[in-house]
Structure 1
Amino acid sequence: MAIITQRKENSMGNKTKTWHVIPAVVATAIMSFCGVLIETAMNVTFPTLMTEFNTDSSGIQWVTTGYLLAIAIVVPITAYLTRNYTIRQLFLASNLLFIGGVLIDCISPSLVILLLGRFMQGIGTGIALPLMFHIVLSKVPLHQHGTVIGIGAMTTALAPPIGPTFGGVVS
């Protein structure tokens, strides 16, 4: 339990309370979990979406492709974002984009609007995934990096096996 209460120098040489960092890591890990969960859940819903939006598989594949494309574009940009914005601002933006995308998806009357929502979700997830590691590497003492990264990675790693079941239940 020393990880929760220690006050040590982090890898950047700054003093930080690790117990402040753990909730931030868990929160970004949960956000990453949600992003991965939604991604793996969507694959199961393709037949339902094809019927709902009256399209074929080549059109509906953009639901996944657009999401992954947004993540692929945003992840490299996150290094720039972490230098110019605070962790709190990025976390808030990530959550707002993701939740906004979910809301757009819920009310989407067409495939184009659904794709817009998925792209927004991808941007939010693309910020959240590297943000968790940024928090650990910049705020956690060097000797505790493995433990704290393990907590975050374990949380995120639970999503792929749950996603298809979740998608099946939802559709």
Structure 2
Amino acid sequence: MEKIHQWFNQIRYGEYSRALILLSGIIIMLTGEFSTTLPVAAILKKFGDGGTLVQLINILPLAILSLMFPIGPVWFKKGKIVKTFQNSLTLFAIGTLIIGVSPNLAFLMIGRIIQAIGTGMVLPMLPTLIISLLPEHSRFANFYQIEDVILGFSAICALIITGCAMLLGNWKYVNLFIIILTLIVYYSASYIKINLEVSSRHIEWLNALF
């Protein structure tokens, strides 16, 4: 009990708060990426387009994320970490808003693409940044294994939230909830004091080509 109390005090006084803000950003953006997985049937019924095209709504953003990973560091060359993180959240929120008001499949696809680009701007670098923000005594070498847990947790969150939205009558309600969370994280990121900045950029052209 004492350890739990100490942990909450550390969060309260900012020792872990900066890392938690970035981690929350990861989870929210990944949750948004998975938010159209469950309501495929509802999307197909509403827009009446071919099933293959509807499936692209989920497949194409993953392809974009795969492309963004090898070129991710280039974004950090243009500004400080926090500003880039906020720009990423902004782009993600715009894509989510377009999805929420999309009148047809074309707008839905555009929203998903913008969502994926926003997520991909910081996702490749965030694990390293989170480790750098943690106190030295709390850092652990196997953080990258936690990425799988974060990915699974985000997928489960997306299924639960989207399922609740569908029970309320419209799966698009999930986008409103995600936008609210994104705005909270964006505001919280304003309080992150960090001077980290990528001094050189390196694009993995071979991986980008693949």
The alpha-carbon deviation at position 147 of structure 1 amounts to 8.3
The answer to whether the Cα contact below 8 Å between 1:30 and 1:155 also exists between their aligned partners in 2 is no
The answer to whether the Cα contact below 8 Å between 2:19 and 2:134 also exists between their aligned partners in 1 is no
Q: Distance in 1 between matches of 2:48 and 2:75?
A: 39
Q: Does 1:134 align with 2:128?
A: yes
TM-score, structure 2 length as denominator?
Answer: 0.63
The answer to whether the Cα contact below 8 Å between 2:33 and 2:115 also exists between their aligned partners in 1 is no
**Cα RMSD, aligned residues only:** 3.0
2:55 maps to 61
Comparing 66-75 and 98-107, the one that deviates more: 66-75
The answer to whether the Cα contact below 8 Å between 1:24 and 1:135 also exists between their aligned partners in 2 is no
* 3-state SS of paired residue (2:48): coil
Q: Which of 139, 143, 154 in structure 2 is aligned with 1:159?
A: 154
* 3-state SS of paired residue (1:42): coil
Aligned-residue identity in percent: 20
Q: Does 1:71 align with 2:65?
A: yes
Q: Which of 44, 51, 75 in structure 2 is aligned with 1:50?
A: 44
Q: Does 1:106 align with 2:100?
A: yes
Output the amino acid matched with 2:160.
Answer: T
Q: Distance in 1 between matches of 2:33 and 2:74?
A: 25
Q: Distance in 2 between matches of 1:91 and 1:51?
A: 36
Q: Distance in 2 between matches of 1:63 and 1:99?
A: 17
The answer to whether the Cα contact below 8 Å between 1:25 and 1:132 also exists between their aligned partners in 2 is no
Q: Distance in 1 between matches of 2:135 and 2:23?
A: 19
* Structure 2 stretches lacking a partner, 5+ long: 1-5, 167-210
Output the amino acid matched with 1:163.
Answer: A
Q: Give CA-to-partner distance per residue, 1:104-149, whole Å, 9 cap, x none.
A: 1111112111111111111122123233223234444555322894
Q: Given the superposition, is the C-alpha separation of residues 70 and 111 from structure 1 closer, same or farther in structure 2, using an over 3 Å criterion?
A: same
Output the amino acid matched with 2:48.
Answer: N
Q: Distance in 2 between matches of 1:105 and 1:74?
A: 21
Q: Which of 103, 113, 117 in structure 2 is aligned with 1:123?
A: 117
Output the amino acid matched with 1:93.
Answer: N
1:86 maps to 80
Q: Distance in 1 between matches of 2:44 and 2:163?
A: 15
Q: Distance in 2 between matches of 1:108 and 1:78?
A: 28
TM-score, structure 1 length as denominator?
Answer: 0.75
Q: Give CA-to-partner distance per residue, 1:3-59, whole Å, 9 cap, x none.
A: 949xxxxxxxxxxxx82xx33321222122122222333111001101111112101
Q: Distance in 1 between matches of 2:23 and 2:142?
A: 11
- Paired residues, number: 157
